[in-house]
Structure 1
Amino acid sequence: MYSLQFTAESSSNGIVERDFTVGDVPGVLWSPASGADRAPLVLMGHGGGAHKRHPSMPGRAHRLVTGCGFHVAVIDAPGHGDRPRTAHDEQEIAELRRAQAAGEPVGPIVVRYNARLAELAVPEYQATLDALQALPEIGAEGPVGYVGIGLGTGIGVPLVAVEPRITAAVFVSTYPDVLVDKAKQITVPIEFHLQWDDELIPREAGLALFDAFASKEKTLHANAGKHLELPRFEADSAVRFFARHLGQAATSAA
């Protein structure tokens, strides 16, 4: 079991932000500066080509901390952020750039690459969860949620499928090709965000992934717009979703 090491800390506007490592995997933990002795934890997964401090990560984290009093954590995916790229990473990224420049479909490359990253990242998230639950302010008995965006969904679906400690999840649509079988294993409440005019992921494919979730409670949020045009208000919807399912009441800050 890898130990958690905090490497930096800052505090502002009622939020404590701590950089950490679990083994050689870097992450960030946002926590309320004051509040209950223990509070639920929400793990997040960033998009492809992004990192733990991409604006979508602290933005969502701050909403969950100030709106619900939760702890929120994200780690860099393999080959992303502060983690070095392997030769395999460089090869896949070069192939992706070549396809983009040639106007060729990038989906097959992204699907293949994301599937490999998920194989590596799922045990890393489980080790991170082990380490964070050892903290007295989180504890091993509290509920855990997950938010995935793009690659974060590609990692999150197989993670939630095998990790019983995660009791609710929000997924933003990604290439579903290798995720349907994993989605069929998920029974926890799901909120699924899909862009109706997505130029990268066919609408029918996104709907098929939503249909595959075996959850008795699952909600589809379909918004007009392209792949990167997810409305900001959906982040607030996720706060309300987790407030319901992780046992805390959202405040007016949500």
Structure 2
Amino acid sequence: MTEQLFILDEIPGVLWTPEDTHGTRPLILMGHGGGQHKKAPGILARAHRFAAERGFAVAATDVPHHGGRPRDQEFDRLATEYRARMAAGEETAGLDTALYTLVVGQTIAEWQTVLTAVQQLDHIGGRPVGYWGVSLGCALGIPFVAAEPRVRAAVLGLQGAPVLAGTAAQITVPVHFLVQRDDERIPRAQSQALFDAIGSAEKTLHANPGKHGDLPRFEMDDSLRFFARHLG
């Protein structure tokens, strides 16, 4: 594994590639969860397996207001209130939308910038692109996948915000969608509704027991097979 940290137009990111390999290869962009960063343990574990076992290149960035990015007072206020309501079991729909609006537009543009730059590298090239992101990574990934024609397949899930349904209908690439049946953050019915809204002709839902953070390790194996099938 080779790990290369970069800053592109003030976007902090990291690129993982197999060591001592030649030629171009498919690229997977990974979106991290809320409150996490580009080298969160789950991101790092998946990046290593995707690169080491399948020869993919993998890129991740700190999305706005996360990781090494500057935070503003409005985002911090909304995020603090969101966490407090979640802990109390109170309604968070309005805060979901407000936080999402602060981040989503900038993130899509930044990910497109990063893809363009990374694909210009000789050992990456213009091969097919995949996207992996759950929770916040899904909330930001749905509009990105819908807007970016270079993305040929996506692993999404742990999300059900109604605000995403209209954009999800614009997705046409194969989708692997993950649900935790005992998710304390996302009602099961909302997860199902978001999956149903995805416009892809080829889409699969994997529902496992457990809470939001209990995604089974074997789902990483299924994600590997999914990307190998659709990206080559």
TM-score, with normalisation over the residues of structure 2? 0.96
CA distance in 1, matches of 2:110, 2:22: 28
Q: Structure 1 residue 68 and structure 2 residue 54: aligned? A: yes
Aligned to 1:192: 177
For the aligned residues, what is the CA RMSD? 1.3
Give 1 or 2: higher helix fraction. Answer: 2
Aligned to 1:202: 187
What CA deviation, in whole Å up to 9, does each residue of 1:113-139 have, x standing for no partner?
023211210101001111111111111
Q: Which runs of 5+ in 1 are unaligned?
A: 1-14, 248-254
CA distance in 1, matches of 2:3, 2:187: 38
Q: Structure 1 residue 161 and structure 2 residue 146: aligned? A: yes
Aligned to 1:224: 209
Aligned to 1:134: 120
Deviation at 1:67, TM superposition (A): 1.3
Aligned to 1:95: 81
Deviation at 1:161, TM superposition (A): 0.4
Given candidates 77, 89, 111, the residue that maps to 1:125 is: 111
CA distance in 2, matches of 1:20, 1:194: 33
Aligned to 1:86: 72
Q: State the secondary structure of the residue aligned to 2:107.
A: helix
Q: State the secondary structure of the residue aligned to 1:179.
A: helix
Q: Structure 1 residue 180 and structure 2 residue 165: aligned? A: yes
Q: State the secondary structure of the residue aligned to 2:70.
A: coil
Answer yes or no: is the 8 Å Cα contact 1:190–1:217 preserved in 2.
Answer: yes
Aligned residues: 232
CA distance in 1, matches of 2:198, 2:29: 20
Deviation at 1:224, TM superposition (A): 0.8
Amino acid at match of 1:39: R
Amino acid at match of 2:20: S
Given candidates 12, 28, 36, the residue that maps to 1:50 is: 36
TM-score, with normalisation over the residues of structure 1? 0.88
What CA deviation, in whole Å up to 9, does each residue of 1:12-54 have, x standing for no partner?
xxx0001011110101100000234111000000000111111
CA distance in 2, matches of 1:111, 1:227: 19
| Aligned sequence identity (%) | 48
What CA deviation, in whole Å up to 9, does each residue of 1:203-241 have, x standing for no partner?
111011111111111110000111111111111110110
What CA deviation, in whole Å up to 9, does each residue of 1:125-156 have, x standing for no partner?
0011111111111112x100000121111110
Aligned to 1:18: 4
Amino acid at match of 1:168: A
Aligned to 2:101: 115
Inter-CA distance 218–137: structure 2 relative to 1 (3 Å threshold) = same
